[in-house]
Amino acid sequence: MVAAVVAVAAVAAIGTYLTAPRPGGRMDPASTEPAGAHALVALLRDHGVQVVVAHNIADVEHAARPDALVLVAQTQHLAGDSILERLAKTPADLLLVKPTSRARAALAPVLRAGGLEMPDSFPNCALQEANRAGSVQFGPTDTYVATDQRPVTSCYGGVLVRYRDGTRTITVVGDSHFMTNKGLLRAGNAALAMNLAGSRSRLIWYAPQRTEGETSRSATIVDVIPDRVIWMAGQLWVVVIALALWKGRRLGPLVAENLPVVVRASETVEGLGRLYRSRRARDRAAQALRTAALQRMLTRIGLEADTPAPAVVSAVIQRTDVSADWVHHSLFGPPPATDADLLHLARALDDIERRVTHS
């Protein structure tokens, strides 16, 4: 009885473990999240493919052999050139899933970004794996074209590209969504994923979920930006420049507009005076009064605005019967200390200006 209970408990525990949700990142072979790849790995194993999960580059090198296929995804986590160089030297075939521009240049140097083109849902190529899958629904994807005259098989408008590199076959696909747990459910996505990843009896799954390796140079954001984003940014700049040129030519002459409200000069003066008073800015108020009085008097006595103070005082006393000290103190003296002093200064300036005007 006890043995039966233990057996039932063991079976229940194993079933719970196998069916329990398993979190993980994108293309994680153990993750049951929508972006994980547990479903594809399980299907491959059910069809007799030996799937070896590589957690680092050393695992890849240990498991790789000429009759194997290395699936490389999440290449944005591969820091430094040494890991890419080691991947390029493995004897196995390569399946590059949505590689970064740096990874593509190192592992598939005969290809370059093909620009922003809408992917074709039908293969339209001679690749058997694609033709057996038929129509496929890709997510946001990159496309590729050959950089030279080397024979390249291009499917789905350049999303899937394959070529021979010596004894190895290099396959590059610009999208990973069709391989994920969520993406497998659409159209012929599962068939294409199975055909590509299961083309060999031994598959080495290498999709690092964290940064691996050390970089010998400062990491830049350009290394992880998809090629299509760079193309999109370039096209956006062209649109902005064209729009600026188009709008710039529409500029016409300036048009005078009437003020919505007419404010009398007296109200402006009173408002400015109240502002000075609220801030106790007697120095600024005195300077404004002296500057205005000097501007009006200098015009009448024939002096320039930059005339020295002694010359101004001399010219003023020649036209009036007041003392030089009083004129100098009123026009160029220190700021008033009190509001009463400011009032006396205003009256003195008014008196001097009136005398000059009537002289």
d(CA 261, CA 276): 24
The encoded tokens of residue 56 equal: 């680092």
The answer to the question of residue 249 being in a domain is no
Helix (H, G, I), strand (E, B) or coil at 212: strand
Half-sphere exposure of 316 (CA within 13 A, CB side): 30
Q: Which SS3 state, helix, strand or coil, does residue 6 take? A: helix
Cβ atoms of 206 and 54 closer than 8 Å: yes
Q: How many Cβ atoms are within 10 Å of 291's Cβ, its own excluded?
A: 11
Same domain, 7 and 79: yes
DSSP, res 78? B
pLDDT on residue 115: 66
Nearest to 34 by CA among 180, 206, 228: 180
Report yes or no: 216 and 80 within 8 Å, Cβ to Cβ.
yes
Query: Is the model's pTM score more than 0.85?
Result: no
Examine residue 241 and state whether it is found in any structural domain, yes or no. no
Q: List all residues 6 or more positions away from 268 whose beta carbon is below 8 Å from its beta carbon.
A: none
Could you give the number of structural domains in the chain? 2
Is 259 within the bounds of a domain? Answer: no
Residue 32 is given by DSSP the state -
pLDDT, one tens digit for every residue, the chain (359 residues): 434 433 333 333 333 334 456 778 899 999 999 999 999 999 999 999 999 999 999 999 999 999 999 999 999 989 878 899 999 999 999 999 999 999 999 999 999 888 655 677 899 999 999 999 999 988 888 899 998 888 899 999 899 999 998 889 999 999 999 999 999 988 889 999 999 999 999 999 999 988 887 654 555 666 556 666 777 788 888 888 888 877 766 666 677 777 677 777 777 778 877 887 778 888 888 888 898 888 888 888 888 888 888 888 888 888 887 888 888 888 888 988 888 888 898 898 898 888 888 87
207 falls within a domain? yes
Pairing of strands 202-206, 68-72: parallel
Can you give the length of the chain in residues?
Answer: 359
Q: Does residue 33 sit in the same domain as residue 167?
A: yes
Position 248 in a domain: no
Residue 225 lies in a domain: yes
Q: What is the pLDDT of residue 9?
A: 32
Q: Which amino acid is at 32?
A: T
Same domain, 10 and 104: yes
Q: What is the pLDDT of residue 271?
A: 81
**Are 130 and 156 contacting, i.e. CB atoms less than 8 angstroms apart?**
yes
What does the pLDDT read at residue 18? Answer: 40
- Please give the pLDDT value at position 227: 62
Amino acid 12: pLDDT: 34
Pairing of strands 50-53, 202-206: parallel
The residue range of the domain holding 280 is 265-357
Alpha-carbon distance 78 to 72, whole Å?
10
Q: Are residues 83 and 227 in the same domain?
A: yes
